Structure 1
C-alpha cells in the first residue's frame, strides 16, 4: 500500500502545484455567508434583512420580488460599485442589506437573490418563499419549473442528510454507474488481472479487492481535487501526453499476452516482490493496485449527475472530508459488481491448462482495444476508423482457428473481418462513423455537424460575449440553450454527431438561440464561464427561459441521447 500512496501523491502533486487558481480557503455554505431574517415593524412594514459575511457580496441586479405587484416591491438602497475583470462593473451589497415592504403587501413573496465570494466562488441563484404574514416558507436554489436538477438534488440531499445515509446513497449510485459505458470497459482489465494469471479463488478475491480499493481511493482523491480545481483537473486528465502514456501502457500489457516477450521488473525489485509474495500465485498486489489506479484515472473525466452533485456539494460546503468519503463510497459501489463478476465467474472456470493461452490472447486484444478507447478523443476520426478495422481483422484472423470445432460460431470471425474491411474502406474515403462506414459513398447518414445547425451555433470563449448574447436573447424574448463544450470531451463529440446533427432535434430547436461555451483551454476565462452557472465540466446543457432565468431543475449533466433530449425539451416547453 505504501507504493500506492506514493503513486497517488506523485500523481496529484503535479496539478495541485501547477494551478495557481486553486482556492486558498474554505467557502461558507450559502446560508451562512448570507443570513436572511424578517420581522414586522410597528409601522406594519415587513423588514427583510440580509447579514452578509466579510468577503462576500450580493448582486443588486439579481434581487427579484415575484408574487407581489410592482407597487408593493421595496425600494432598493444605494449599492457599492464592484469591478470584475470578466463581468465588468456591477452594483453589489456588502455587510448588510435592509429591504422594507409596505404594510399592505399580501400573499407569498418569492425573493430571488444571488451572491459571490471575493475569493472566487459564485453561489447558484437562490429563492426564498416568504409568507407576508411573517414566516419564511422555504429557501432553496432557484427552480422556476418546480423541481431540482439531478446534480442539484443530490447536493441538497447531502447537505440535509447524515453521513451514514449519504455514504449508503452514493454506494447505491455507484452500483448503478458500474453498468454504464464509462465503467464497463474496466471489466476486462480486472478479468485479465484475475483470470489471465491463473489465480486461485482466494487469490482472485484478494487481487480484485485490492484493485477495487485502489480504484475507489483514486476516485475519491480525484473528486476532492476536482472540487478544488474545477474543470482544470478534467482538462489535465485529457492532456495528450497523459492519454498517450496510458495507451502505450495498454499496448505494453497486450504484447506479453501474445508471447512477444516476458514483461519483467528489474531483478532487485523482482526479488523483493517474490519474497513479499512467496507462496502466492496468480499475479501480485502491486500490479492490482496499479491497474486499479489507472482504471480510476480513466473513469475520472466521465461527467455524471452523481459525481456532479457530489462536487457541487463539496464546492458549496467546503467539507472536503465528507466529500472524500462520499466519493470513496461511490467508487466502492462502482467496483463491487466488477469484483463479483470476475471472482464468482472465476470459480466456474476449468482447471489451468492450454485454454489459458487462449484467455491470454483474448485479453491481449482487450488491452489493445483499451488503448484505442483511451486515444479516441485524440485521433482523427478516419484514422480511428482504420485502426478499429485493423483490430477487427486481426481478431478475426486469430479467432478463426479456435472456432473450427464450433461450427455454429464460425460465422463470427467472418462477419468481424467483413466489417473490419468495410471500416478500412470507409476510412480511406474519409469516413468517421463506426456504424456507417460507407457513408462517404452514399451521402446519407448524419454528418458530424450539419451546416444548418453549425450556422446557428455561436461559439463563445469569454464571459463578456456570453452576457452580450444572453442580453440580446432576453430582449428578443427568446429561449437559449447553453452547451458547455471542450475538444477533449468525448461525450461532447458524441452528442454533436448523434444528437445535434439530427434533423428532428434541429427542428425542435427552431427559434432557440444556441450558444456553445468552449472551455477546452484551462484559462481564467474558461473558469469564469464554468463558474457562471456552477458547472463542474462538459458536457452540460443549460436552458435559459425567454425572461433570462435558468430552468435549473432541467439542467442536463453528462451525455444524453437524442430521444431523451427531445423528451426533456418537450417537457420544458410545456411548462414554460
Structure 2
C-alpha cells in the first residue's frame, strides 16, 4: 500500500511540476551594501531547508549569506521528521560592499503543500533557477534548451549599435583598420574575373593559416611516402588536393544553404578523437607496425600499375585537412561566403560554386608538391629514417588532437554554466558601457580556434593595439561549444560566420 502511495505521489508531483514556480514567489532587492533575497511561502505550504540553496555571485566572487531564515522541525507526512521554512516570508541577506552589479543569483528549492480539509497534500518538483539582478530588477535566465527563447541579453543588445564586425584572423594592421571602422570588403567594385582570381589566391593562402601550416610536413609525408615516380607523386598530390577542394567546398555549401558555422565540427570532442585515432594509425604505418593498403580493394587505372586504392589515403587525408582548416576562419572565407549567399539569393546558382573554388585554390600547390617529392633520391635506409621522423610528427599530432578532444568533453569539473558565465560577463560590460559611454569590443574565441590563439599571442600583445584598446571595454567571450543554445543564439544575433569573431558596439 505504501508503494502505491509513493507511485501516486510521484505522478502528482509530475502533474504539478509547473505549480512550484507559481506558489513560491521570489523577490530581490538592494538596500545600501546589502542584497536581500526573499521568498513568500503561502499558508499550509513549506520549503525543505536542506534543499533550499541560494548562491550569489558578483563576477568570480561567490558570496555567502550573512543572515538566513530560521528553520523549524516538522513531522512531514511525506518524508517524516525534517527541517522546513514554514509559511510566511523567508529572507537571506548578503553583503555586497565594493561589489558592482550585475549579480548572478542561483536558486534551488523544493517544497510541499500540507494536507488540509480543502486540499490533498502535494509535493512539487524541485526547481533550479538563475537570475541576473542589476540592483533594481531581476531577470530570469532562460533555461538552456534546443528551443531557446529570447534572453535578457538580447534585449540589452538592442540598445547598442553595431559599429563594425569581422570574422577570421586579422593582423595588427588590419585589426587597427577594423578598430577605426575602415571597410574590409574584399570584392567591392571588382570584376568577376578579378574576384575569381582573388578567391583562388585566398584559398592558396589558407595553407599558411595556423590550422594547416603545422600540418605541411605531415601532408608531405602522406603524399610522398613510397612514391615511385613523378607521375605517381603528382597523382597522389592531385587526389589530396581533390579531397581538400571537395570537403572545403562542402563546408562552405553547408554554411550558405543551411547556415552552418565554420568551426562547429572542430568544437566537437568526438571529431577531435576521431582525427587523433586516424593520425595514430598513420604514425604506426610510418613505423611499419601496421600496413595500410587500399589498393587491394580497387581496379587498375593505367598500364603502369597505378591503382585507385593507392590514392584513397591522400584523398581521405585531404578531406581531413580541409575539415581541420574549418577552425581557421580567414576574412577571405567570410567574404566568399557572403558573396556566395548574395549571388544565390539573387537567383545565380553559380554562387554555390565559389566555396569549391576557394577549396581548389587551397588544393593548388599539392600536385606540384607530390611531383617534386618524386625526384628525391631512390629509397634506401635514409628514407626509413625520414619516415620514422614523420611518424614521430604524426604521432605527436594524434596525441594533441586526443588531448584537444578530452579538453572539450563536458566534464563536471568545468560545469555546464560556462555560457551563462560568459553571458553575465558580457551583460556587466554592457551596463558599464551605458554608465560611462565607452564602446564595447567583443572578441568571440575558443581554445580549439588556432586563429584566436594566434591573435591573442601576436595582435592583442602588440603595444600599438593595447593603446588603441584602452578606448574600449574589451570582453573576451569564450564560445567553446558552438552548439550550446545560449552561445549559438548570441553568435546568430551578430551573424558570426566562425571564430574569431569581433564586434564593436556603441551605446
Scaled by the length of structure 2, the TM-score of the pair is 0.55
| Corresponding position: 1:351 with 2:378 | yes
Note the residue ranges of structure 2 that are not aligned, 5 or more in a row: 1-148, 167-177, 409-418
1:234 match: secondary structure: coil
Task: Name which of 457, 462, 477 aligns with 2:437.
Answer: 477
| Residue correspondence of structure 1 range 32-431 to structure 2 within 5 A | 85-86=150-151, 87-88=154-155, 147-149=182-184, 153-154=185-186, 157=188, 163-228=192-257, 230=259, 232=261, 234-264=263-293, 271-273=296-298, 279-281=304-306, 284-316=310-342, 318-319=344-345, 321-347=349-375, 349-375=376-402, 377-378=404-405
**In structure 2, do the counterparts of structure 1 residues 364 and 144 end up closer, same or farther at CA, with 3 Å as the change threshold?**
closer
Aligned-partner Cα distance in 1 for 2:432–2:297 = 68
Measured after TM superposition, the shift of residue 289 of structure 1 is 1.3
**In structure 2, do the counterparts of structure 1 residues 286 and 359 end up closer, same or farther at CA, with 3 Å as the change threshold?**
same
Aligned-partner Cα distance in 2 for 1:329–1:178 = 14
Paired residues in the alignment total: 331
1:208 match: secondary structure: helix
**In structure 2, do the counterparts of structure 1 residues 528 and 312 end up closer, same or farther at CA, with 3 Å as the change threshold?**
farther
For residues 410-468 of structure 1, what are the alpha-carbon distances to aligned partners after superposition, in whole Å with 9 as ceiling and x for unaligned? xxxxxxxxxxxxxxxxxxxxxxxxxxxxxxxxxxxxxxxxxxxxxxxx98644x97567
1:351 match: secondary structure: coil
For residues 295-322 of structure 1, what are the alpha-carbon distances to aligned partners after superposition, in whole Å with 9 as ceiling and x for unaligned? 1111122111111212233445545944
Measured after TM superposition, the shift of residue 472 of structure 1 is 4.1
**In structure 2, do the counterparts of structure 1 residues 185 and 206 end up closer, same or farther at CA, with 3 Å as the change threshold?**
same
**In structure 2, do the counterparts of structure 1 residues 294 and 307 end up closer, same or farther at CA, with 3 Å as the change threshold?**
same
For residues 354-391 of structure 1, what are the alpha-carbon distances to aligned partners after superposition, in whole Å with 9 as ceiling and x for unaligned? 3332232232123223324534644679xxxxxxxxxx
For residues 506-531 of structure 1, what are the alpha-carbon distances to aligned partners after superposition, in whole Å with 9 as ceiling and x for unaligned? 66644631223333231343223213
Contact 2:267 2:480 in 1 (8 A): no
Aligned-partner Cα distance in 1 for 2:319–2:340 = 23
2:378 match: secondary structure: coil
**In structure 2, do the counterparts of structure 1 residues 303 and 271 end up closer, same or farther at CA, with 3 Å as the change threshold?**
closer
**In structure 2, do the counterparts of structure 1 residues 144 and 222 end up closer, same or farther at CA, with 3 Å as the change threshold?**
closer
**In structure 2, do the counterparts of structure 1 residues 144 and 239 end up closer, same or farther at CA, with 3 Å as the change threshold?**
closer
**In structure 2, do the counterparts of structure 1 residues 164 and 510 end up closer, same or farther at CA, with 3 Å as the change threshold?**
closer
Aligned-partner Cα distance in 2 for 1:246–1:278 = 35
**In structure 2, do the counterparts of structure 1 residues 124 and 477 end up closer, same or farther at CA, with 3 Å as the change threshold?**
closer
Q: Which residue of 2 aligns with 1:514?
A: 474
Measured after TM superposition, the shift of residue 543 of structure 1 is 2.9
For residues 216-255 of structure 1, what are the alpha-carbon distances to aligned partners after superposition, in whole Å with 9 as ceiling and x for unaligned? 1100101121345556552233311111111111111111
Measured after TM superposition, the shift of residue 324 of structure 1 is 3.6
Contact 1:473 1:479 in 2 (8 A): yes
**In structure 2, do the counterparts of structure 1 residues 358 and 289 end up closer, same or farther at CA, with 3 Å as the change threshold?**
same
Contact 2:425 2:475 in 1 (8 A): no
Q: Which residue of 2 aligns with 1:574?
A: none
Q: Which residue of 2 aligns with 1:543?
A: 504
Q: Which residue of 1 aligns with 2:42?
A: none
**In structure 2, do the counterparts of structure 1 residues 276 and 504 end up closer, same or farther at CA, with 3 Å as the change threshold?**
closer
More strand as a share of residues: 2
Larger Rg belongs to: 2
Q: Which residue of 2 aligns with 1:22?
A: none
Contact 1:194 1:342 in 2 (8 A): yes
Aligned-partner Cα distance in 2 for 1:369–1:124 = 36
Contact 2:206 2:212 in 1 (8 A): yes
Aligned-partner Cα distance in 2 for 1:90–1:287 = 48
Contact 2:249 2:359 in 1 (8 A): yes
Q: Which residue of 2 aligns with 1:488?
A: 448
**In structure 2, do the counterparts of structure 1 residues 375 and 279 end up closer, same or farther at CA, with 3 Å as the change threshold?**
same
Measured after TM superposition, the shift of residue 484 of structure 1 is 0.7
Aligned-partner Cα distance in 2 for 1:167–1:230 = 23
Q: Which residue of 1 aligns with 2:493?
A: 532
Aligned-partner Cα distance in 2 for 1:542–1:257 = 45
Measured after TM superposition, the shift of residue 88 of structure 1 is 4.5
The structure, 1 or 2, with the larger RCO (C-alpha pairs under 8 Å, 6+ apart) is: 2
More helix as a share of residues: 1
RMSD: 4.0
Contact 2:444 2:477 in 1 (8 A): yes
Measured after TM superposition, the shift of residue 163 of structure 1 is 4.7
